Chains A and B, each alone.
Chain A
Amino acid sequence: MIKETAQPQAASEEPRIGVYICRCGGNISDVVDVEAVATAMQGVAGVVAAKVNTFMCSDPGQALIAEDIRNERLNRVVVASCSPFLHELTFRTAVNRGGLNPYLYEHVNIREQGSWAHHSDPAGATSKALRMISAAVGKLRHAEPLDRIRLSNNRQALVLGGGIAGLKAAAELAGKGIPVILVESSSSLGGRVASLNEVYPTETDASDLVKKLAAQVMNHPLVRVYSQARLAALSGFLGNFDITIAVEPKAEAGPAPGVPLPKPAKAEEVRAAVGAVIIATGFDPYAPRDGEFGHGGPQVTTLPEFIRELRGRRNGELQWNGRPVRSVGFLHCVGSRQIEGVHAPQADGKVNDYCSRTCCTAILQQALDVKRRFPQVNVYDFHQDIRTYGRGHEDYYRNASTAGVVFLRYHGDEPPAVGPGTNGASLTVRVKDWLTFGEEVDVPLDLLVLGVGMMPRNIRDLIELMKLPVGADRFLQEVHPKLRPVEVSVNGVLLAGTAQGPMNIEETLAAASAAASKASILLGRESVELDPFVAEVDADQCIGCERCFPECAYTGALVAEAATVNGQAVKKARVNPGLCVGCGACVAVCPTRAIDLKGWTLSQFDAMVDGLVAGVPGVELKGREHARQTH
């Protein structure tokens, strides 16, 4: 399964270390006495060169390293400068260009953790810089050349969910020639969009949209669709996931909305190998509790129900449960933007404090539709804010307003109360209306539509199976909302659509396209490369005590191998570098120090501690006199 590459042998020659200290144009050298640090480092055993430069990251700075590697025959390099986030890769590459293994490099951060943090204590900052650099030098003395881990790549993708997100992702991947397995839990394609009528902001027919997307997927020879199926098992890692799909045909209550899929012939389990997984399992509309804003009463409904109910109704007179509707109200933010202490918590004890983003425009679209189709009906809109943020969304607000929809504004901590109706109305909404100077207004209604927001779908099985990160709002969480918006911290797993959080159709499709192109980049490579910082077991020293196995949280990272120690059959540990994340949990419990992390060995830690404690023995640095005393 995994092609493990041979690691290069230890560099056994005497260490010849070059230390480069950056002034960062004064950012560092205004506080840290860099010259004194360089002088002190020159006296340390194994350090061949210790130099100061104004901008190490500049071309001349980088060239200096390569030059010294050649001229001084350096075989290890330290750069003391800014955060490794900024330039560790820069200098590893520079070292590599000079002809050295890039992992024979150490980065020391004496700016964010030095001059910037201690600018009122130059002596302390200088002494700290010296200690950190000597720790790095100590660590480098024990460094070995490392190679990145290279793994084979299964060029096939798994897409979970056949809503518009899953359909779009599958269609795009297939279009790039990548085979796709699409797993849909229901018996049809299209997800929630299939139950909508015309969708904002384009007023396109939702079923047309779903049909188009579904056709692209169902007619494509590279896509295999499993309906009434779920992901039963998954193991492996980026490029190498082994999956099991359970197909479980159920008796259907009635025709589901969307594009129907052929009913699977029988229950079965399908195994496959994929290189990447796209999660497009969507959302659930918020389900109000009984009695929440009158929910459960005959003249109270939710927005999705209302949309479904109105489909195909004849224009003219609006009726609900056999009663003529003269006034209808739409209530925003039901189940969204909840406030702790004001709203009852959900089953898990939390409130939904996020904005569901799609409901405002969806409500206004319906309010306007009512005004157009049933002009005699009075329409009231109870909102906190009108969040019609997207292109064309504000038109719905303006048109609803000019069509005569009456808006009332409540504050989140004083939500409207729904009570029984009087004078022939079915119910009364009492609201403290901030468009009427905070006065209390009773609005008699014959129908109240609850603008329910989005809830994360219950996909606990998938979350546990794949160790998926979940945000505070309980939707799946990306690595970084701006820099890595569709990736999760599990390599090779990507997010598409509302499984990640509230999105409208445009945003869902954009996210799906992003996930598909990210997946096609991952799957486009022959092999997958990973950082070499993983654990390694010295089989000779391993006594088979098995203490490390329960420590490892990453299934499959530690493999048990039968062996004999002192004539006894034991299980020795071996590391699968594709699955090991290099957390070090196993290292800590091994009684014989048989396990080590490559690039972060125990002897390296020892040397670093020595360096940090002792600095350079016999050297005491005072720091800059002229450092700015700002505090």
Chain B
Amino acid sequence: MASRANPDLAKDLARFGASGVLTCFNCGNCTAVCPLSEGDSVFPRKLVRYVQLGLKERLVQMSEPWLCYYCGECSATCPREAGPGETMAALRRYAIASADPSGLAGLMYRRPLAAVFLTLLVAVVLGLFLTTVHPRHEFSDWLFRWIPYEVIHTVGMVISGVLGLFLLAGVANVLRRYTAGSGGLGGLLRSPGAMLVAAQKTLGEMATMRRHAHCGDTEAEAARPWYLAPRWVHASIMWGFLGLFGATLLDFLFIYFLSWTAFPPARVLGTVSGLVMLYGVSVSLYQRGQGKANHLKQSVLADWWLLGFLFVLADTGFWLELAVTFRWQGTVNDAVLLIHTVMAMELVLLVTLTKLAHALYRPLALWLHFFRQAATASGLNVAQAQPADA
């Protein structure tokens, strides 16, 4: 079936950061140099072309954007300066936006001001909500004179609930679209062997980002010390984040539910993870600020947003740890705790609206990629993506 050209898509994607697409003359250099394009997953030219023509139905079913780690080599090679790497990045944002049923993600990408406003709004709602669950404070008493406790509590619960639903719907959407070409979820379930192999490979890839090692064969990249290379910077952010996540969960478990004092191993884990993440986030912020490397030539608000959140979370986390250790008291500490908790909650609740969604979608895409590889290797016929309508 023929798919329908739509000139508005390229214009829309420009707002997601893909501005040069129309100048691409389809030479294919980008695909040739891309260290990650392989087998059935050929990019970025194919996706650049779909954007050029506006073949939206095709694009939203493609998981390829997540297979790209944005090394930027394609963009550096492109004779037309069409920005294929930036297009892939924009397509990741577009994927997040188009999977999100609320339309809020799209709004945030298309209008940076809306993103700022929404972030603050959710923060205020969550902040107020927290005053209802935390141990009482003078501020709470003062507040409840103005807004009844019940209202604040209900609004907070409802908003959290709705955002949680959006989160689930987003993940479901992506799952449905990306598997459409392989016969849906049912199609996948029919080859459990391949599913297992793929899962194993995906976990391995997530842990090590081995594919990332293929990026950066350029001289400039090679000259960079390993601890500044994108692969390790990203790894420190990811592992730091996961470590902190784990430490926080343990803290919750021990302090709030079991009412113990701090559990030493969790504290150690938290401290180490926090340091590791802070390192990664700081390097990343610095490198983005410089904007020199191929993969950092273009940063959009969503990039700063996520790094900024992580940076503040890590810093406030340390503060709180010191406060707990040295038994600091006072309003400042309460405020820091509030900020830390609000931001952490916001990060989780907005996961499918922000760049952090990649932590969900990328593994899924990798898993499908490895699944197709394994299925092809074992002779299974995995259908190529077809547009849903025509």
A binding-site residues for B, Cβ under 8 Å = 327, 378, 380, 401-402, 404-408, 430, 433, 435-437, 439-444
Contact = CB atoms under 8 A, between A and B. Distances in A.
B2 A327 contact: no
B285 interface: no
Nearest to B2: A440
Nearest to A432: B2
A444 B3 contact: no
A380 B7 CA distance: 10
A442 B22 contact: no
Nearest to A380: B5
Contacts of A380: 5
A380 B4 CA distance: 13
B7 A406 contact: yes
Contacts of B390: 442
A444 B6 CA distance: 8
Nearest to A428: B4
Contacts of B117: none
A442 B3 contact: yes
Contact of A436 (B7, B22, B23, B49): B49
B1 A437 contact: no
Given A327-B7, A406-B7, A401 B80 contact: yes
A430 B55 CA distance: 14
A324 to B, nearest CB: 15
Given A327-B7, A435-B49, A436-B53, A442 B2 contact: yes
Contacts of A401: 22-23, 25, 80
A433 B52 CA distance: 13
Nearest to A409: B26
A437 B46 contact: yes
A402 B23 contact: yes
A366 to B, nearest CB: 18
Contact of A402 (B4, B26, B52, B80): B80
15 contacts: A327-B7, A380-B5, A401-B25, A402-B22, A436-B49, A436-B50, A436-B55, A439-B3, A440-B1, A440-B2, A441-B2, A441-B3, A442-B2, A442-B4, A443-B53
Contacts of A436: 49-50, 53, 55
Contacts of B25: 401, 407
A332 to B, nearest CB: 16
A435 B4 contact: no
B188 to A, nearest CB: 25
Q: Which of B5, B53, B55 has the most CB of A within 10 A?
A: B5
A378 B9 CA distance: 12
A435 B23 CA distance: 14
Dominant SS among interface residues on chain A: strand
Interface of B: 1-5, 7, 22-23, 25-26, 46, 49-50, 52-53, 55, 80, 390
A444 B3 CA distance: 11
Q: Which of A406, A430, A441 has the most CB of B within 10 A?
A: A406
B3 A440 contact: yes
A125 to B, nearest CB: 56
A378 B54 CA distance: 12
A466 to B, nearest CB: 47
A439 B59 CA distance: 14
B26 A441 contact: no
Q: Indicate the member of B3, B26, B53, B390 with the most A CB atoms within 10 Å.
A: B53
A443 B5 contact: yes
A378 B22 CA distance: 11
Nearest to B20: A402
B179 to A, nearest CB: 21
B62 to A, nearest CB: 13
B42 to A, nearest CB: 9
A436 B52 CA distance: 10
Contact of A406 (B1, B46, B53): B53
Contact of B26 (A378, A435, A440, A444): A435
Nearest to A401: B25
B2 A378 contact: no
A41 B26 CA distance: 72
A504 to B, nearest CB: 23
Contacts of A444: 4-5
Point out which of A378, A380, A440, A444 has the most chain B C-beta atoms below 10 A from its C-beta.
Answer: A378
A435 B46 CA distance: 9
Ranked nearest first, the 4 interchain pairs of A and B with the lowest CB-CB distance are A440-B2, A378-B7, A404-B22, A443-B5
A404 B3 contact: no
* Residue of B7, B46, B390 with most partner-chain A CB within 10 A: B7
Contacts of B2: 430, 439-442
Nearest to A434: B26
Contacts of B55: 436, 441
A377 to B, nearest CB: 9
Given A406-B7, A435-B26, A443-B4, 14 more contacts: A327-B7, A401-B23, A401-B80, A402-B22, A402-B80, A404-B23, A408-B53, A435-B49, A436-B55, A439-B2, A439-B3, A441-B53, A441-B55, A444-B4
Contacts of A408: 53
Contacts of A402: 22-23, 80
A401 B46 CA distance: 18
Nearest to B54: A406
A406 B53 CA distance: 7
B46 A442 contact: no
Contacts of A327: 7
A436 B7 CA distance: 15
A326 to B, nearest CB: 8
B384 to A, nearest CB: 10
Contacts of B50: 436
Scoring B2, B23, B52 by chain A CB atoms within 10 A of each residue's CB, the highest score goes to B2
A270 to B, nearest CB: 56
A110 to B, nearest CB: 56
A257 B25 CA distance: 38
A571 B218 CA distance: 94
A330 to B, nearest CB: 14
Contacts of A437: 46
Contacts of B4: 441-444
Nearest to B7: A378
B125 to A, nearest CB: 40
A132 to B, nearest CB: 59
A436 B28 CA distance: 11
A407 to B, nearest CB: 7
A405 B22 CA distance: 7
A433 B46 CA distance: 13
Contacts of B26: 407, 435
Given A406-B52, A436-B53, A442 B5 contact: yes
B64 to A, nearest CB: 14
B234 to A, nearest CB: 32
A442 B1 CA distance: 10
Contacts of A435: 26, 49
A24 B55 CA distance: 69
A441 B2 CA distance: 5
A430 B2 CA distance: 8
Nearest to A408: B53
Contacts of A406: 5, 7, 22, 52-53
A404 B53 CA distance: 11
Nearest to B22: A404
Contacts of B1: 440
Contacts of B3: 439-442
A378 B46 CA distance: 21
Nearest to A433: B53
Could you say which of A380, A433, A441 has the most chain B C-beta atoms within 10 Å of its C-beta? Answer: A441
Contacts of A442: 2-5, 390
Contacts of B7: 327, 378, 406
